[in-house]
Structure 1
């Protein structure tokens, strides 16, 4: 028997990655943004707020004040649940919107994306069943895929979740939770009406189910009346988690979100957060609290929403000339996204490489579906470009789609 020499190098294979890391793919939106990052591309693919509308002066002043007056605290560790001043300010804003809330009902997270991960850790076991709107937010689908759960899409129409379809699905599948973005949904931009919100809450109360209500876009309303949260509906009080974020109304780079949840679930999320990152950066939390105390965030949001409305209107004005006959699209009352469905012959995923050659981009709709994809759908973000850029970008999109149609007709004639 020959023993290995003491100094010999043995190259045994390393253990494999976890199965969830091998099986969960990256974000198609991020992949598209990497391909279309050239400045000449008019990009309707991203979900990025318009940077020229950030209140950079106000945010910088808030950081400067915090560091000038309380640097030792701002640069120190903090509590997992979040800085008391910020939680109190968030509770006051939530209460003013007719959902009574105290600071103890809230936890600050590193963006609402982290809140989703914490909830998946606290609520979901591998093999559990949960429901989402069909289609739904891509990064939420990633979180749930990592959790190893079975995700089922709920039938939706132009107003969102069909409560009767939801009730039947819950009775049959016994899901643990429903994840929903009821206001200016990503990717569709639709808003669930008040009567359907009450019906969704009633289903959850009757059948025994959690609701995770994600609201990153709700403050970006251009027209119409604000619709109360599902969390404010009778019967939803003990089973609804409400997620919020400063990313779309203050600055995404601050990575500040929050969750409002019943006490036992909030404690479980705090334990999960301790294991993840201990706490959200103290200086960012204190700067946000200072901003809320010294600036009028609502006035800033109104300015942003007015600009976004102008950009939405520009997109609506020029879509008919860009999309092929037979296409349909919605008219969102706020938010950042517009959803379009082309005739069934079009596959927006297959078309995208040729469209990008015309220096314009969108997100194909297929990856947003939990189940059978809508291959002829696309999401268009209307907030990042100016009205002039939107007009030019839709002109490029129209030319690209018409060229692809001619190519398909020519190929069909030669077949």
Structure 2
């Protein structure tokens, strides 16, 4: 007896839906900063929103020559798989730069990553289990909150003031919450631009050693200092040596499109990060690593960074000079010694998200501070980046912002 025919419509109606997404994929929201950047891509918008390096300052010719050299020396090697840890030339270059900044480092201490964001993801995979407590500054880097949220961590904010996290409050939280790690951006922090003083860094290192705590020190902005004295890395302080993972990046001093970062960590933690990276992408792009290594060998990077610093210093000063006229009377803001951001706070009864809507109508943008907070946000705060536009464009943007804030 022939089998009954099944029509396509019958087959479709009988199909079961696919299984649900993992809870972490639905519990962690997208980045409001990225969504604002999409709104600011239309021509004519002056944006203080993105933490983007100035593209006209990229050393395109030097980088093109470095890629040419990578292919000329050995195209076969440049286009081949590589080791997970990274090509030796680039690891050695990173180690030399770290040592020159006062932190003795060997090539074997370094893992090359696809941007420092990946380094944070690898460390989170290696250290954090669902329910673990992770301490952060408040406010803090938005993508770090996403990373810890995806891992199922319970994120707890450390009280901060104008100079950064407060060591006494940190000690109380560590004793009470028994966290797995502290994530911090102690130099020119994102989003606030503030820098943790030397004495507080030493106190944090001692608390970590005494209480048993991993430290993740994220330093994407440390090369961008415009005034003041250099501050030693947290990783260089006594007590932090065997428990600090230091994250660095070439995005701000070479080009973010390279997607090159690095991780310096104690051997056992670095090995765990290597295994996590093997599961993620095997290794970072070989040709990009070799080009970066050739670039660092052939170019005066410190001279290039000095040029970038000079341009950004002028842009920071232009922003600071115009804020009094651009923001509502009674607003407050800081004066960062480096980095890419100024942090501001509107007076009582104002909301930065409301101001942003008006600002976009006047073709100017910034980022409200609320998304950067853990727990209850301060709706009056906002982050302004000064690196992407010239001083003249910044002045024009502030004029637009002043008009947007008029009743």
Which category of TM-score, normalised to the shorter sequence, fits these structures? Answer: over 0.9
Where do 1:283-362 residues align within 5 Å? 283-362=287-366
**1:400 aligned onto 2:395:** no
The equivalent position to 2:67 in structure 1, one of 63, 68, 77, is 63
Q: For this pair of structures, how many residues does the alignment match?
A: 401
Write out the 4+ residue segments of structure 1 that deviate beyond 2 Å after TM superposition: 3-8
SS in 2 for 1:244: strand
The Cα RMSD (Å) is 1.1
Query: How far apart in 1 are the matches of 2:225 and 2:285?
Result: 29
Query: How far apart in 2 are the matches of 1:174 and 1:165?
Result: 14
1:386 is matched with 390
Using the TM superposition, give the Cα deviation of residue 5 of structure 1 relative to its aligned residue in structure 2, in angstroms: 5.4
TM-score (norm 1): 0.95
**1:122 aligned onto 2:126:** yes
SS in 2 for 1:140: helix
Using the TM superposition, give the Cα deviation of residue 350 of structure 1 relative to its aligned residue in structure 2, in angstroms: 2.8
Where do 1:207-246 residues align within 5 Å? 207-246=211-250
2:82 is matched with 78
Query: How far apart in 1 are the matches of 2:194 and 2:88?
Result: 34
1:14 is matched with 18
Alignment deviations for residues 333-367 of structure 1 (CA, whole Å, 9 cap, x no partner): 11100000001311112332221001000000000
Question: Structure 2, unaligned stretches of length 5 or more?
Answer: none
Query: How far apart in 2 are the matches of 1:237 and 1:378?
Result: 35
Using the TM superposition, give the Cα deviation of residue 302 of structure 1 relative to its aligned residue in structure 2, in angstroms: 0.6
**1:104 aligned onto 2:108:** yes
Query: How far apart in 1 are the matches of 2:4 and 2:87?
Result: 57
Query: How far apart in 1 are the matches of 2:184 and 2:300?
Result: 29
The equivalent position to 1:269 in structure 2, one of 270, 273, 289, is 273
Alignment deviations for residues 87-121 of structure 1 (CA, whole Å, 9 cap, x no partner): 01110110111100111111000000000110110
**1:150 aligned onto 2:154:** yes
Using the TM superposition, give the Cα deviation of residue 371 of structure 1 relative to its aligned residue in structure 2, in angstroms: 1.0
TM-score (norm 2): 0.97
Query: How far apart in 1 are the matches of 2:109 and 2:52?
Result: 29
SS in 1 for 2:155: strand
1:412 is matched with none
1:181 is matched with 185
Query: How far apart in 2 are the matches of 1:54 and 1:34?
Result: 22
Question: Structure 1, unaligned stretches of length 5 or more?
Answer: 407-415
SS in 2 for 1:273: helix
Using the TM superposition, give the Cα deviation of residue 36 of structure 1 relative to its aligned residue in structure 2, in angstroms: 1.4
Query: How far apart in 2 are the matches of 1:69 and 1:108?
Result: 21
Using the TM superposition, give the Cα deviation of residue 4 of structure 1 relative to its aligned residue in structure 2, in angstroms: 8.4
Query: How far apart in 2 are the matches of 1:326 and 1:335?
Result: 25
1:25 is matched with 29
SS in 2 for 1:231: helix
SS in 2 for 1:378: strand
Query: How far apart in 2 are the matches of 1:75 and 1:244?
Result: 25
SS in 1 for 2:405: helix
Using the TM superposition, give the Cα deviation of residue 6 of structure 1 relative to its aligned residue in structure 2, in angstroms: 5.7
Query: How far apart in 1 are the matches of 2:85 and 2:239?
Result: 26
Using the TM superposition, give the Cα deviation of residue 73 of structure 1 relative to its aligned residue in structure 2, in angstroms: 0.2
The equivalent position to 2:251 in structure 1, one of 227, 231, 247, is 247
**1:87 aligned onto 2:84:** no
Query: How far apart in 2 are the matches of 1:66 and 1:81?
Result: 19
Query: How far apart in 1 are the matches of 2:30 and 2:340?
Result: 22
Query: How far apart in 2 are the matches of 1:130 and 1:24?
Result: 16
